[in-house]
């Protein structure tokens, strides 16, 4: 009977490890180059403002977030820092809010004011166009309007890579 | 103080120790001379009877591990819980045995080591005491006998005696128990009712610790954890591995896990019960040591499970789980016995109609060595937007090869009610079928023991010194051997040769543990959660549970005598480390990180209480403090070692001492909660939890045991543990200039710790109140003033404190009060690095002896039972280390350790040497 | 009887896995699922206490289930 249990236990551990190593190959961050969709942004109250293509010429950091998403909230200090450091060089950080209830987003921003632009995507068309499958999702768009880097999720240790990417896109020649 | 007087209440009410019983239980040598045997007149037992709460738990701690909630933020939790059962129904037999109570202390934490790795640990300590059933027997057999005693208010019930052997159980020809009127001994109708026979116990403590590591990938997670559980007679080690895989954008998660538990049972059989329990089936596992019998066993459990969580809609999700557990080894509860009533078939079948007597015996229960269980669990969670609440519905089915099928239905409604409050009412219904081998009691148609006869029908006799030779008697009753020769009986120790019952005629497995019976249970409770400020939450819960055999799904209602109920109340403090540390988005992070070391003053050594204050109004501090002190080694009188004979003669006031302590360890757990309403004023609350253990030995030169007087038996000592006194204090800053601070604190100690703990009653002798030193609190309101000075310059720090405890009442509930305390202490510290400080401290403490004395019975067996042997003057040195985490994720957490070494003791009276104490504290400001 | 129950359980599990393909909840629609009251165990400290109490008074098997799933689906 002991033999059964040992086999069972080792079998489950092996299965676990295999499964994990196979799925972890799923990239949470990808480099690419494809034209970004045009997004119709509105303010939180629904008033339409500039669309995404209007920002061509600047490096745009599009971050899809919602008030109920803890990693989104944790990314805000970093986004504020990026805004501080690189605004002069042509970086534009846009936080696209995907809360279903505007009141939730408003309440959150009242308590945690941010320095970068906040817009809303009421029809969620922008999120669909960008194929957002995770929260938060960050998209780095270069000066020509191409999506160059997609990053899903947020953890403190990933900020270095993101900053590197931003610098790269700010300084590259067309 | 209270003794049973044999025969003194003859002719009185039914509540008597049966007349023909002897006053002092004697091992059964000859069955015929004793009509019944009581094993104890117990009100409280030195444990062994029932504790091993892990064997009391049919589910092992390792199998209940909830894995690290890896998706949670870093946190630290403290929780206290109190479990209280109601009294069991003894059908009118007066019973003042205390029902089971348990106090549980729990602390746990989850810490992120890196972005994707978390470490979690938890520590739980349960202390249980109270009366539990050892067996079930027919009500008519009078298993629970009350003991009466003379008190100031007249004759009252002072305890109950469990009776597990009774050779005079009256039965009718259909084996129904018959009730006998105790006054006129007239036979009444048959009484088919059963009753639980209770025995009670002193407190016992179990400790459990778990550790785990978990790793998160984007769509997967893996947890590895392990731990152990320890109590006096049960040791368990466990480990498990579990993980999760996400699919479909995390809408579907598959979870898996497996674990292994290895346990060792080393049960000290109840010293008083053991002679009356038939243990032949386990004789190979029982060893005798130091006057006690110890049953050894091992057990292994393997478990595996597979589960699935599936998001159904944006407002609902479903979880399903299947688990399998395989257990083998010693599966019994060593403290439970099966009542078997042996009926002589010759008498039963003799064609008469008069009632017969059955011989009621107790056999250690026997369960199968293997158990395979399967459980299927489903849960459905639905968000109800109208109320912003969530409905959780669950159903679980479990089945095993013991025949126990169970169903559980539960429903929770989690309702946030604004301002950070959440209210969760809950209801649960549970039903289980009986195990195939469960029976309240058994009949066996054979005699328990019979005199053997040879082929000619002559009774066989043997010489106890040489049992292999058989003799018989001739017609003149002379002893003759096998060859017909006369034998001189005076040279031998001749006894009838007896044969025991045939165990093969009994079922292979049997148990009367009511937890294996068929029953239903309904429970309802509520949890209230309040977010106090960002990252600090308080949670309180309450639940009432009732077990009723009639509530079993399907059939039921046949073990109503085993019904009971309980309530649980608990309170918890939860700290979310990330929220409290997190600065507002937009603020400069680096500025925040410097502040912990910048504005916090150096802390005093760990052994100092009320030694520092918070500076900013609105600041909070939460801390945990642990103190462990050891006393063992030599007995001292004043400042000198003393020999046993002196202790015997002088240590016990006007009587002679018989026992002395060999060791006594005390552990104190304290939660410090401090708040600064203003810059100059802090308030502090410190609930405490104490546990202690000790053992005794006989003094050389002690007087001989006297019948009727309490003795300490066996190899096990005593333990106590439960909530201690609670301290509230107000700290006021007097001087605060750069480099020097003086503050004063006025504290009050509320007597929430019990001072009326008792020892079990043994051999019809009251145990009485347990020694002064083992009670859990002072029992009085105490005033605790203190004045502290602290200074610092560069890497140096120093300080001094005078403090005292002044008892504000003349006596506590048990009639005495502890001595007042005065202490003066001074310390110096040096910063070894930016974050580590070493300290040296000297302390002088003087404590008065105990005033007055116990107001109810105490057995007075040794110097620790006398008030004059407490207190004294003590000179100690402390060596300590303080550390603070300067920056990073865990900035602001402080740890300190101190070892206090006694340098000189001048005890009042006779006391055990002090060997030192260790203090360890953790605190966190926010 | 026991075998039948086990088979039913496995059937339910596979059915659920099959169903998972039909469900589509977008990443931004998971706000309600992320609320603390929708967690698989909203009061883990309470659960630990209760499971221990039930386990010491009842004979049911425990399913020690691994943690995870549901919730905000955040990375």
Q: Provide the ipTM.
A: 0.87
Subunits with at least 3 CB pairs below 8 A relative to chain B?
A: A, C
The predicted structure's pLDDT at residue B826: 96
The answer to whether position B889 is within a domain reads yes
Q: DSSP for chain C, please give it.
A: -HHHHHHHHHHHHHHHHHHGGG----GGG-TTTTSGGGSS-S-HHHHHHHHHHHHHH--PPP--PPP--STT-B-
Return the number of other C-beta atoms located less than 10 Å from residue B577's C-beta. Answer: 22
The rounded distance, in Å, linking the Cα atoms of B710 and B764 is 9
pLDDT band at B376 (very low <50, low <70, confident <90, very high): very high
The answer to whether position B849 is within a domain reads yes
Give the domain extent around A56.
31-171
pLDDT band at C63 (very low <50, low <70, confident <90, very high): low
Residues B589 and B493 placed together within one structural domain of the fold: no
Number of domains in chain B: 2
DSSP 3-state of B384: strand
Which pair of structure tokens corresponds to residue B42? 């117990």
The answer to whether position B842 is within a domain reads yes
pLDDT at residue B44 tops 60: no
Model confidence pLDDT, tens digit, residues B531-559 = 987 788 999 999 999 999 999 988 776 88
Using a CB–CB cutoff of 8 Å, tell me whether B568 touches chain C. yes
Mean pLDDT score of chain B:
83
Please state at what angle helix A159-171 crosses helix A70-86, rounded to 10 degrees: 40
Q: Which of A90-94, B226-230, B616-620, C41-45 has the lowest mean pLDDT?
A: B616-620
- Nearest Cα of chain A lies from the Cα of C42 at a distance, in angstroms, of 16
Residues B719 and B597 placed together within one structural domain of the fold: yes
Using a CB–CB cutoff of 8 Å, tell me whether C35 touches chain A. yes
Phi first, then psi, for residue B247 (nearest 5°) are -130, 165
Q: Which residue of B has its CA nearest to A154?
A: B115
Higher-confidence residue of B592 and B183: namely B183
pLDDT band at B573 (very low <50, low <70, confident <90, very high): very high
Residue B259: which residues within 8 A CB-CB, separation 6 or more? B62, B63, B65, B238, B239, B240, B241, B242, B302, B303, B304, C64
Which of B621, B597, B574, B628 is CA-nearest to residue B920?
B628
Exposure of A84 in the CB half-sphere (CA atoms within 13 A):
11
Cβ neighbours of B422 in C, within 8 Å = 36-37, 42
Contact C29 A100 (CB under 8 A): yes
pLDDT at residue A23 tops 50: no
pLDDT at residue B843 tops 90: yes
- Is the Cα dihedral B909, B910, B916, B917 positive or negative? negative
**Do strands B154-162 and B144-151 pair parallel, antiparallel, or not at all (unpaired)?**
antiparallel
Return the number of other C-beta atoms located less than 10 Å from residue B395's C-beta. Answer: 15
Stretch C46-68: mean pLDDT: 80
The answer to whether position A73 is within a domain reads yes
The answer to whether position A24 is within a domain reads no
pLDDT at residue B117 tops 70: yes
Q: Which of B597-601, B692-696, B735-739 has the lowest mean pLDDT?
A: B597-601
The predicted structure's pLDDT at residue B459: 86
Contact B58 C58 (CB under 8 A): yes
* Cβ atoms A132, A64 nearer than 8 A: yes
Q: Assign 3-class secondary structure to B575-626.
A: EEHHHHHCCCCCCCHHHHHHHHHHHCCCCCCCCCCCCCCCCCCCCEEEEEEE
Q: Give the number of residues written for chain A.
A: 174
Residues B637 and B731 placed together within one structural domain of the fold: yes
Model confidence pLDDT, tens digit, residues A40-93 = 888 888 888 888 888 888 999 999 999 998 888 889 999 999 999 999 999 999
User: CA separation (Å) from C20 to B253, B445, B739, C14, C25?
Assistant: 10, 61, 66, 10, 11
User: CA separation (Å) from B387 to B394, B417, B629, B784?
Assistant: 20, 9, 53, 49
pLDDT at residue A131 tops 60: yes
pLDDT at residue B317 tops 50: yes
- CB contacts under 8 A, A 113-172 vs C, are 124, 127-128, 132-137, 152-154
Q: Give the number of residues written for chain B.
A: 926
Residues B735 and B868 placed together within one structural domain of the fold: yes
pLDDT band at B158 (very low <50, low <70, confident <90, very high): low
- Nearest Cα of chain B lies from the Cα of C67 at a distance, in angstroms, of 6
Give percent above pLDDT 70 in chain B: 86
The CATH number of the domain where A38 resides is what?
3.40.30.10
The predicted structure's pLDDT at residue B70: 41
The rounded distance, in Å, linking the Cα atoms of B327 and B343 is 36
Using a CB–CB cutoff of 8 Å, tell me whether B121 touches chain A. no
* Cβ atoms B395, B375 nearer than 8 A: no
Higher-confidence residue of B531 and C61: namely B531
The rounded distance, in Å, linking the Cα atoms of B687 and B673 is 9
Instruction: With 0.90 as the threshold, say if the pTM is over it.
Output: no
| Domain residue ranges of chain C, discontinuous segments joined by + | 24-55
The answer to whether position B202 is within a domain reads no
The predicted structure's pLDDT at residue B38: 33
DSSP 3-state of A16: helix
B38-50: b (≥16 Cβ within 10 Å) or e: bbbbbbbbbbbbb
Q: Assign 3-class secondary structure to B394-413.
A: EEEEEEECCCCCEEEEEEEE
* Cβ atoms B824, B846 nearer than 8 A: no
Which pair of structure tokens corresponds to residue B263? 């346990």
The predicted structure's pLDDT at residue B304: 92
Q: Which of A7-21, B42-56, B771-785, B803-817 has the lowest mean pLDDT?
A: B42-56
Return the number of other C-beta atoms located less than 10 Å from residue B756's C-beta. Answer: 16
Contact B58 C59 (CB under 8 A): yes
Cβ neighbours of C31 in A, within 8 Å = 66-68, 99-101, 104
Model confidence pLDDT, tens digit, residues B859-891 = 888 899 999 999 999 999 999 999 998 887 778
The CATH number of the domain where B918 resides is what?
2.40.160.40
- Is the Cα dihedral A16, A22, A25, A26 positive or negative? negative
Give the domain extent around B497.
450-505
The answer to whether position A2 is within a domain reads no
Q: Assign 3-class secondary structure to B522-536.
A: EEEEEEEEEEEECCE
Using a CB–CB cutoff of 8 Å, tell me whether B222 touches chain A. yes
The answer to whether position B203 is within a domain reads no
User: Helix, strand, coil % (nearest 5) of chain B?
Assistant: 10, 55, 35
Number of domains in chain A: 1
| CA B552 centroid distance within chain | 29
The predicted structure's pLDDT at residue B499: 86
List the single residue in A24, A113, A114 with the smallest CB-CB distance to B217.
A24
Model confidence pLDDT, tens digit, residues B576-589 = 887 765 433 333 33
Which pair of structure tokens corresponds to residue B729? 């204090």
């Amino acid at each position: 009977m002991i033999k059964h249990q040992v086999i069972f236990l080792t079998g489950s551990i092996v299965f676990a490890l295999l499964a994990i190593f196979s799925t972890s190959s799923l990239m949470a961050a990808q480099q690419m180059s494809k034209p970004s969709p045009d997004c119709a942004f509105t303010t939180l109250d629904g008033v339409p403002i500039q669309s995404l293509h209007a920002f061509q010429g600047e490096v745009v950091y599009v971050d899809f977030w919602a008030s109920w998403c803890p990693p989104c909230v944790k990314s805000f200090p970093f986004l504020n820092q990026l805004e501080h450091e690189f605004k002069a060089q042509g970086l534009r950080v846009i936080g696209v809010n995907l809360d279903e209830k505007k009141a939730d987003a408003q309440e959150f921003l009242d308590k945690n004011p941010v320095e970068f632009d906040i817009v809303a995507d009421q029809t969620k068309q922008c999120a669909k166009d960008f194929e957002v499958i995770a929260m938060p999702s960050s998209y780095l768009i270069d000066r020509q309007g191409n999506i160059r880097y997609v990053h899903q999720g947020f953890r403190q240790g990933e900020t270095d890579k993101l900053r590197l990417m931003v610098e790269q896109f700010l300084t590259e020649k067309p | 103080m209270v003794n049973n007087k044999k025969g003194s209440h003859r002719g009185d009410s039914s509540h008597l120790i049966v007349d023909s019983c002897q006053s002092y239980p004697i091992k059964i040598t000859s069955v015929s001379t004793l009509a019944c045997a009581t094993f104890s007149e117990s009100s409280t037992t030195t444990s062994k009877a029932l504790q091993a709460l892990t064997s009391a738990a049919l589910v092992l701690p390792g199998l209940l591990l909830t894995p690290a909630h890896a998706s949670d933020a870093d946190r630290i939790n403290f929780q206290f819980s109190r479990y209280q059962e109601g009294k069991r129904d003894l059908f009118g037999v007066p019973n003042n045995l205390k029902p089971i109570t348990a106090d549980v202390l729990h602390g746990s934490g989850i810490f992120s080591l890196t972005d994707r790795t978390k470490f979690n640990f938890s520590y739980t300590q349960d202390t249980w005491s109270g009366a539990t059933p050892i067996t079930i027997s027919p009500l008519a057999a009078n298993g629970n006998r009350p003991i009466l005693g003379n008190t100031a208010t007249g004759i009252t019930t002072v305890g109950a005696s469990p009776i597990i052997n009774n050779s005079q159980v009256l039965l009718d020809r259909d084996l129904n128990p018959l009730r006998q009127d105790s006054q006129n001994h007239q036979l009444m109708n048959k009484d088919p009712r059963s009753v639980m026979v209770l025995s009670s116990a002193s407190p016992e403590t179990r400790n459990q610790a778990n550790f785990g590591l978990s790793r998160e990938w984007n769509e997967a997670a893996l947890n590895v954890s392990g731990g152990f559980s320890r109590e006096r007679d049960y040791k368990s080690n466990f480990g498990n591995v579990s993980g999760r895989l996400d699919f479909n954008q995390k809408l579907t998660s598959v979870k898996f896990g497996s674990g292994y538990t290895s346990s060792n049972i080393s049960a000290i059989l109840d010293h008083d019960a053991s002679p009356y329990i038939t243990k032949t089936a386990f004789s190979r596992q029982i060893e005798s040591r130091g006057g006690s019998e110890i049953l050894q066993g091992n057990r292994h459990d393997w478990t595996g499970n597979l589960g699935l969580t599936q998001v159904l809609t944006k407002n609902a999700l479903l979880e399903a789980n299947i688990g399998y557990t395989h257990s083998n080894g010693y599966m019994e509860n060593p403290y439970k016995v099966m009542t078997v009533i042996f009926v002589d078939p010759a008498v039963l079948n003799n064609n008469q109609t008069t009632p017969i007597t059955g011989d009621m015996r107790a056999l250690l229960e026997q369960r199968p060595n293997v158990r395979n269980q399967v459980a299927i669990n489903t849960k459905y969670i639905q968000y109800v937007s109208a109320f912003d609440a969530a409905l959780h519905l669950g159903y679980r089915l479990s089945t095993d090869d013991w025949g126990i099928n169970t169903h559980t239905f539960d429903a929770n409604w989690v309702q946030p009610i604004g301002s950070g409050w959440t209210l969760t009412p809950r209801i649960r219904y549970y039903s289980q079928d009986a195990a195939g081998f469960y029976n309240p009691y058994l009949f066996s148609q054979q005699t328990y023991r019979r005199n053997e006869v040879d082929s000619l029908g002559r009774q066989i006799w043997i010489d106890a010194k040489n049992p292999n030779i058989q003799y018989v008697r001739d017609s003149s009753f002379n002893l003759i051997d096998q060859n017909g020769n006369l034998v001189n009986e005076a040279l031998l120790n001749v006894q009838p040769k007896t044969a025991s019952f045939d165990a093969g005629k009994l079922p292979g497995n049997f148990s009367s543990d009511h937890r294996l019976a068929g029953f239903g249970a309904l429970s309802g409770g509520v949890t209230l959660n309040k977010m106090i400020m960002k990252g600090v939450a308080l949670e309180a819960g309450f639940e009432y549970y009732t077990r009723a055999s009639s509530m079993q799904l399907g059939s039921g209602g046949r073990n109503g005598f085993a019904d009971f109920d309980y309530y649980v109340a608990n309170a918890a403090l939860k700290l979310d480390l990330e929220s409290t540390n997190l600065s507002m988005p937009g603020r400069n992070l680096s500025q925040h990180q410097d502040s912990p070391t910048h504005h916090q003053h150096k802390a005093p050594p760990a052994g100092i209480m009320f030694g520092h204050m918070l500076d900013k109004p609105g600041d909070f501090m939460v801390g945990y403090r642990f103190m462990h002190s050891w006393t063992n080694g030599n007995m001292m009188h004043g400042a000198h070692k003393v020999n046993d004979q002196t202790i015997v003669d002088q240590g016990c006031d006007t009587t002679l001492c018989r026992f002395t302590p060999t060791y006594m360890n005390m552990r104190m757990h304290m939660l410090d909660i401090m708040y600064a309403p203003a810059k100059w004023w802090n308030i502090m609350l410190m609930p405490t939890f104490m546990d202690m253990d000790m053992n005794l030995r006989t003094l050389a030169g002690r007087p001989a045991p006297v019948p009727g007087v309490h003795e300490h038996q066996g190899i096990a000592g005593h333990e106590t543990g439960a909530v201690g006194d609670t301290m509230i204090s107000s700290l006021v800053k007097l001087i605060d200039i750069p480099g020097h601070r003086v503050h004063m604190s006025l504290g009050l100690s509320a007597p929430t710790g019990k001072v009326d703990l008792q020892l079990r009653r043994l051999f019809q002798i009251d145990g009485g109140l347990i020694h002064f030193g083992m009670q859990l609190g002072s029992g009085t309101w105490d005033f605790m003033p203190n004045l502290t000075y602290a200074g610092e310059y560069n890497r140096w720090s120093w300080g001094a404190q005078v403090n005292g405890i002044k008892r504000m009442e003349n006596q506590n509930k048990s009639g005495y009060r502890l001595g007042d305390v005065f202490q003066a202490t001074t310390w110096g510290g040096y910063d070894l690095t930016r974050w580590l400080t070493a300290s040296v401290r000297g302390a002088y403490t003087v404590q008065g002896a105990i005033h007055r004395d116990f107001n109810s019975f105490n057995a007075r067996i040794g110097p620790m039972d006398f008030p004059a042997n407490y207190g004294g003057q003590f000179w100690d040195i402390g060596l300590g280390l303080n550390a603070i985490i300067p920056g990073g994720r865990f900035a602001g957490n402080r740890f300190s350790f101190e070892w206090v070494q006694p340098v000189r003791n001048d005890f009042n009276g006779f006391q055990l040497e002090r060997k030192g104490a260790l203090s360890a504290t953790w605190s966190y400001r926010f | 009887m026991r075998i039948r129950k086990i088979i039913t359980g496995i059937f339910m599990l596979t059915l659920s896995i099959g169903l998972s393909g039909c469900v589509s909840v977008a990443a931004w629609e998971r706000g309600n699922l992320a609320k603390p009251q929708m967690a698989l165990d909203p009061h883990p400290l309470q659960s630990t206490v209760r499971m221990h109490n039930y386990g010491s008074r009842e004979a049911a098997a425990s399913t020690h289930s691994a943690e995870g799933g549901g919730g905000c689906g955040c990375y």
